[in-house]
Amino acid sequence: MRLLGRISNINMSFLSIHLMFLALLFAHVADNLLTQANLESKVHIVYMGERQHDDVELITSSHHDLLSSVLGSREASAESMIYSYRHGFSGFAAKLTERQAQSIADLPGVVHVIPSHLYKVQTTRSWDYLGLSSSSPSNLLHETKLGEDAIIGVLDTGVWPESESFNDKGLGPIPSRWKGFCQKGERFDPVKNCNRKLIGARFFIDGLKAALGEPFNSTKYNEYLSARDPEYEEYLSARDSDGHGTHTASTAGGSFVHNVSVGELAYGTARGGAPHARLAIYKVIWSGFATSADILKAFDEAIHDRVDVLSLSLGVDIPLFPEIDKRDLIYYGSFHAVANGITVVCAAGNAGPIAQTVFNVAPWVITVGASTIDRSFPTPIMLGNNRTLMGQAMFFGNDTGFVGLIFKERSVFESLHRCESLSTNDTWVAGKVVLCFTITAGQWLASTISNVLKAGGLGMIVASNPTRYLYQYAGMPFVFVNYDVATQILNYFRSNRDPKVRLLPSKTYIGKLAPTYVASFSSRGPNSLSPAILKPDIAAPGADILAAYTPVPGAENGYKFDSGTSMSTPHVSGIVALLKSIHPDWSPAAIKSALITTAWRTDPYSGEPILAEGDITKIADPFDFGGGLVNPNRARDPGLVYDLRIEDYTHYLCSMGYDETAINHLTRKANSCSRTVISVLDLNLPSITIPNLNNPINLTRTVTNVGAINSEYKAIIRPPPGITVVVKPDYLIFSPKIKKISFTVTVSTRHQVTTKYYFGSLTWTDGVHTVRIPISVRSEFPELVW
């Protein structure tokens, strides 16, 4: 209003001329921008939902017909089209202008026209830690004959086929149901590089190439791919340049490889969770990025190839998009995979410990958080006064001997991030071991130690919380300590004129004195898209995991440590392959239920509660690890499962208020939402999550007996604090004629103000099985009523 008051005093005719000129100028600029946007072709996915028939050639022809109707000719269609999706669902990827995309979106049978988006990527001890020791004859591993003939599909950065982890010793013929193949490409010969272990290897890059508008290995292309590493070299084939895909594939289904270690640390036998499973590699990630067009094509081909499980260590950043939305096509691809009986396992993300950062939250996928294992690498720190303190490192080779210790006092004007900002210009570190305090999580200090060593420093002692995730510093004289130990070292430094320190090589320690944590980087719930759907579902080892890698510096012997939910995801994928081997008739939902209801909530060896790392270490809750830490041996015999059909997921989409026409195309069924829409709370998940309880709520669950035919279960309720939970009936009797029983859960609150989430559980037990589901409830009372 003050601005308008000033304008009123200006000569209005002069102002009118200027306003008219500006209006014409802006209109001209806007028109040019609109014209440019309409003329610029970008990669779009034309999604058409479930297939109408099984003739794939006819489906592809219909895609060209549709595209030709907009572009004007079959030739233009052929030039524009990138992929035809025709096996698990119908659709295609093509280069289109905005105007062309809109024209196609208006055509009958088209669900969505979606711009292609980018996605990012997110073991010698871990399997023994989970109870799947190869020396134990009674566990799930041996009952399934090591996962024999299960097929694990891995969407990732490809594979290094020469790794010994992909040898096919002891494997029989390739399963006859397998419909895939190995694709020839740069430095990848199907005859030499594929075998009875590595039965499929494909690569999908046309979506990325079309998005860049440049041919492979062009200047622009190489600049894009080498953004992370100037020496990065990519292969136009299924061969892995990054190491990430090789690591995840070998974790899920790698063969036995004895005497593996890194610098004599973590010495043992490397193998995957299902060492006799077959691997099908779908390379969709290039220099850490993948396009939705390429990912969707990989899903389409994997469905055709008849894989049993799909492992995806990738995802989108928050904010999340709805499952039926136009932007996150992992939802679409995974929905069709699950509809075809394929279990889809996805990473939860690496944005923890911040709440509501979990992604891949569709209820039909298994979303995996990351935990530590019972392995540590204690590293002695000897001070000049003959006192020895302990830290954590992956330091191997010769010890430093006694050398100078240096700590640079921070002035009041210096940043709290002084430690992280050390550069090669800090020559005061030369010839000394640097003591440093940081408020940054330890995994983000790789450049710091590199700069210190380049500046002539001999090593670092870093105070950090947590003091783990050491994989980036393997071999380096870089030791993490907690703040208490660091303060003791600082006191020694300040009280001596010539302080000395000696860093000794790390050792490997395994046992109950190394407790289990949910890793600090693991993304946390609650689910920001659909708060009533618990995510993550489960946790698995994902910190400092040793597995196969490309032969790069730090992995000269072909094995390397790595951390992330990318590493925890293939642990669950391998376990799913084992379960699929022993229970081939189980649905993806039944497998997911078996994992969640049997998970550990306490450390497998000490019995102490599993903790969650963060700013403050706490006892882990369902938003940290879902049902808990995966327990494969119990999952093989869960007693009861909470099963779901694809129709149930359709009802969920309806209850979320999504467009019914889009849902109809997704499922290829009319009137998907015509019946009474069920509550999201009634989706038959192995969890109960109520984000806004005020009045009492009744919800329903159904359990299916997969144990002894004649069995009886009673309910054990541990309600969240301040919450009342009543189950009716609270006693279930199964017989040859009664295999499924539904029950009602009534939840009410005694709180009178809005609260945080509180947690409890509902367990069914027959004296042999304990079928536990987590309960998460927040009481919410609106502060204002309009």
Query: Would you please indicate which residues are annotated as catalytic (active-site) residues?
Result: 156, 244, 566
CB-CB contact of 339 with 303 (8 Å): no
CA-CA distance, 551 to 558, in Å (whole number)? 5
HSE-up of 526 (CA within 13 Å, CB side)? 20
Residue 24 makes CB contacts below 8 A (sequence gap 6+) with none
| 270: its two tokens | 């490397």
| 129: its two tokens | 């830690």
Classified as helix, coil or strand, 59 is: helix
Q: Is 498 exposed, middle or buried (0-12, 13-18, 19+ CB in 10 A)?
A: exposed
Q: What sections of 383-438 are H helices per DSSP? A: none
* Phi, then psi, of 381 in degrees rounded to 5: -120, 105
Angle at 661 between CA 659 and CA 667, to 5 degrees: 105
CA-CA distance, 575 to 140, in Å (whole number)? 9
* Phi, then psi, of 27 in degrees rounded to 5: -65, -40
DSSP bridge partners of 733: 712
CA-CA distance, 528 to 360, in Å (whole number)? 11
CB-CB contact of 323 with 362 (8 Å): yes
Angle at 271 between CA 266 and CA 274, to 5 degrees: 145
Under DSSP, the state recorded for 728 is E
CA-CA distance, 82 to 380, in Å (whole number)? 57
Long-range pairs for 673-678: beta carbons < 8 A, 24 or more residues apart: 677/651, 678/651, 678/654
Classified as helix, coil or strand, 3 is: helix
CA-CA distance, 683 to 693, in Å (whole number)? 17
CA-based nearest residue to 271, from 291, 247, 255: 255
The full length of the chain comes to: 786
Residue with tokens 């980036």: 472
Side chain identity at residue 358, one-letter code: V
DSSP assignment of 164-212, as one string?
GGG--TT--SPPTT----BPPBTTB-HHHH--SSEEEEEE--HHHHHHH
Classified as helix, coil or strand, 652 is: helix
Q: How many other β-carbons are positioned within 10 Å of the β-carbon of residue 363? A: 26
Proportion of the chain in helix, strand, coil states, percent, rounded to 5: 25, 25, 45
Helix axes 330-339, 292-305, angle to 10 degrees: 10
CA-based nearest residue to 594, from 337, 759, 770: 770
Peptide bond into 622 cis (omega under 30): no
Q: How many helices (H) and strands (E) does the chain have?
A: 21, 39
CA-CA distance, 600 to 671, in Å (whole number)? 42
Q: How many other β-carbons are positioned within 10 Å of the β-carbon of residue 267? A: 14
DSSP bridge partners of 344: 310
CB-CB contact of 116 with 326 (8 Å): no
Under DSSP, the state recorded for 610 is P
For 325-347, b where at least 16 C-beta lie within 10 A, e where not — what string?
Answer: bbebbbbbbbbbbbbbbbbbbbb
